[in-house]
Amino acid sequence: MLDYAHLEALLAVERERSFEGAARSLGVTSSAVSQRIKLLEERIGAVTLNRQTPVTTTEVGADLCRHAEMVLMLEGEVIQRNRQELGYAVEEFRNIKIAVNDDSLSSWFMGILRANAASENPYLLEISIADQDYSIDQMKTGSALAAISVHKNPVQGFQSTYLGTHIYRATASPSFIERYFPSGVTVEALQHAPSLRYSSQDDLQIQWIEQVFNAKVFPHSHTIPSSHGFVDACLEDVAWGMHPALMVDDYIAEGKLRELVPGQTLNKPLYWHCSRVIAEPFKKFTKTVLEEANRLLDQSPQQQG
């Protein structure tokens, strides 16, 4: 049997990426954390950590962390249901790792965090920002137990539920459009007008151009890793960008932003993926996700992939 005090130490080191940070989070000394990791490695006969700076887990260590997360979450659920009988006077927080794309976090997911904070037994959420096209990779490696993804089919051990469609608009400021598209938005003009991308993985602007103009164009781009930064950059005449309608519709109504091609949106169906192991204890949180998505995302039947 594995000692879960040792596994909690391993989880803390993975989360904080140092023995000192893990010690602070656990309220023990660094030597105590080191000793627990040493005993764990002696027990299993394998190295769990790459002890460089920052500290990272080995493949075995990562597998143990994912196992420990699920077991500790299930254990925490039992404690919450039977807190009084078990003598737990203080509420026990439960940690959960979720992969969310920044566009969702900035436009509609914050209401879910608010609802979680107001709930009787809130989770401590460790949210990683992952592009909706690539978050499935975090589920495959086990580094996220729940995620938002554009992929309908879940990876092994997960279940998938349709959330709705995130509608994106290609927008820019009126002055930017006047400068770079004086004769209208054309493929040639798009080849020269600076655009915005979130990271090297972000190709929404390329997808939109291909959908609207049936052309493969790789526009010059500023890289700004912030959804709010995207909107601000467009308001400040820096570039054109792909924005969630939820974030720019008010600016369009006010005339501060304009669609490059009115009505030509890029629609991304989103799915909530959740590990089957935690699906039951996590069902209230999942219910909140679905309710908020139903309220704010497009629910047109034709949008579902």
- When pLDDT is cut at 50, 70 and 90, the band that residue 92 belongs to is low
Burial class (CB in 10 A: 0-12, 13-18, 19+), 223: exposed
Please determine, for residue 305, whether its predicted confidence score (pLDDT) is greater than 50: no
Mean per-residue pLDDT over the chain, rounded: 90
Per DSSP, what are the bridge partners of residue 233? none
* Consecutive H or E run containing 73: helix 59-81
The pLDDT assigned to 90 comes to 53
Q: Which of 36-40, 154-158, 188-192, 241-245 has the lowest mean pLDDT?
A: 154-158
Mean pLDDT of 46-61: 91
Please determine, for residue 152, whether its predicted confidence score (pLDDT) is greater than 50: yes
pTM of full prediction above 0.75: yes
Mean pLDDT of 95-115: 94
Mean pLDDT of 233-254: 98
Specify the residue for token string 């080995």. Answer: 58
How many CA atoms within 13 Å lie on the side-chain side of 64? 30
pLDDT tens digit sequence for 11-35: 889 888 899 999 998 899 999 999 9
Q: Right CATH number for 166-267 from 3.40.190.10, 2.60.40.10, 3.40.1190.20, 3.40.980.10?
A: 3.40.190.10
- When pLDDT is cut at 50, 70 and 90, the band that residue 86 belongs to is low
Q: Does domain 1-89 have CATH number 1.10.10.10?
A: yes
Domain ranges of the chain: 1-89, 166-267
Please determine, for residue 124, whether its predicted confidence score (pLDDT) is greater than 50: yes
Task: Specify whether the CB–CB gap between 123 and 94 falls below 8 A.
Answer: yes
The pLDDT assigned to 66 comes to 80
Dihedrals phi, psi of 47, to nearest 5 degrees: -85, 135
